[in-house]
Amino acid sequence: MATSATVEEQAKLVETSKRLAAFQAVKDYLLPEYTRIGIGSGSTVVYVVEAISELGSAVTSKMAFYPTGSQSEELIEAAGLNLQYISKLPAGQQLDVAFDGADEVDDDLNLIKGGGACLWQEKIVAASAKQFVCVADFRKLSTRLGMAWKKGIPIEVLPMAAPRVLGELQRMGSQNPRIRPGLPGKAGAIVTDNGMWIIDAPFPPLLLPKDIEAGSQTGNSTAGVWTVDALADALIKIPGVAEIGLFYGKNGLQLASGAQKPVAAYF
């Protein structure tokens, strides 16, 4: 009984932390003059939408909300907010801000995302925003990616390429990469909103530039010890990989479209 009370208490603490982070993020980063807002996926984002709804229709009716997949689409609709699609955003225009969760956040605010299998659309929406706000509870903070989120880096792949991608990942030093199974009760692999599969690829904790500067590490080796940037560059080049769940500031989102490194992670 004592154990189950502790588990319940922990779960409550996590929910409180998510909610506080979401309300703080909306208070700090959703300015009333904004008109285009990205809404990510996962359980934390539910609180983001709750916080936005509490601003009232006098504020929110002037705003359009852009989802990162079917879950956030339903969330936006259920809250009675104005649902729009990134596919209709005119070329050259941007969202004012995008809010999303993460599975892990490192010292430099690089992220692992994709625990909910929405990473491809999440990255497109993040890259379309002037500001990307990561909303995360205390469990997500980690000094190096891979230390807290042990399931591996989510990688969205074309199903026919999955066996070959698995082989490449093993060659790169991933420890036991595997195709993510379907949700409980669903046979086979999980299928994303884009008709793809997800491979989860565990690697040893990913190094940061400061680790390389500090000395002995090279950050790119067959032993599977990589920097965030080097691994991201290598993964995205594997034929059949559609997108990867590493969200990293300088060389990823920013180069792709001028979007920002995450400006805030709350714990």
Question: What angle is formed at CA 33 by the lines to CA 32 and CA 37, rounded to 5 degrees?
Answer: 80
Question: Does position 38 bind ligand 5RP by CB under 6 A?
Answer: no
> Which of 122, 156, 168, 243 is an active site residue?
122
Question: Does position 106 bind ligand 5RP by CB under 6 A?
Answer: no
How many CB atoms are located within 10 Å of the residue 60 CB?
Answer: 20
Cross-strand pairs, 100: 134
Scan residues 119-138 and list those touching ligand 5RP (CB under 6 A). Answer: 119, 122
Question: Does position 102 bind ligand 5RP by CB under 6 A?
Answer: yes
Specify the residue, 103 or 229, whose C-beta has the smaller distance to ligand 5RP. Answer: 103
Question: Does position 36 bind ligand 5RP by CB under 6 A?
Answer: no
Question: What angle is formed at CA 226 by the lines to CA 195 and CA 200, rounded to 5 degrees?
Answer: 25
CB of 166 to ligand 5RP, least distance (A): 20
Please check whether residue 81 is in contact with residue 52, taking contact to mean a CB–CB distance below 8 angstroms.
yes
H-only helix segments in the chain: 2-29, 44-53, 57-60, 70-78, 119-127, 162-171, 209-213, 228-236, 254-257
Question: Does position 113 bind ligand 5RP by CB under 6 A?
Answer: yes
Q: Which helix (H) or strand (E) holds 132?
A: strand 132-135
DSSP state of 248: -
CB of 101 to ligand 5RP, least distance (A): 3
CB of 81 to ligand 5RP, least distance (A): 19
Please check whether residue 118 is in contact with residue 68, taking contact to mean a CB–CB distance below 8 angstroms.
yes
Question: Does position 42 bind ligand 5RP by CB under 6 A?
Answer: yes
Please check whether residue 59 is in contact with residue 30, taking contact to mean a CB–CB distance below 8 angstroms.
no
Specify the residue, 42 or 202, whose C-beta has the smaller distance to ligand 5RP. Answer: 42
Question: Does position 115 bind ligand 5RP by CB under 6 A?
Answer: yes
The piece of 23-31, 94-102, 158-166, 169-177 that touches ligand 5RP (CB under 6 A) is 94-102
Q: Choose, by CB under 6 A, the member of 114, 177, 202, 252 that binds ligand 5RP.
A: 114
Asked about 74 being catalytic, the answer comes back as no
Specify the residue, 67 or 173, whose C-beta has the smaller distance to ligand 5RP. Answer: 67
Residues marked active site are found at 122
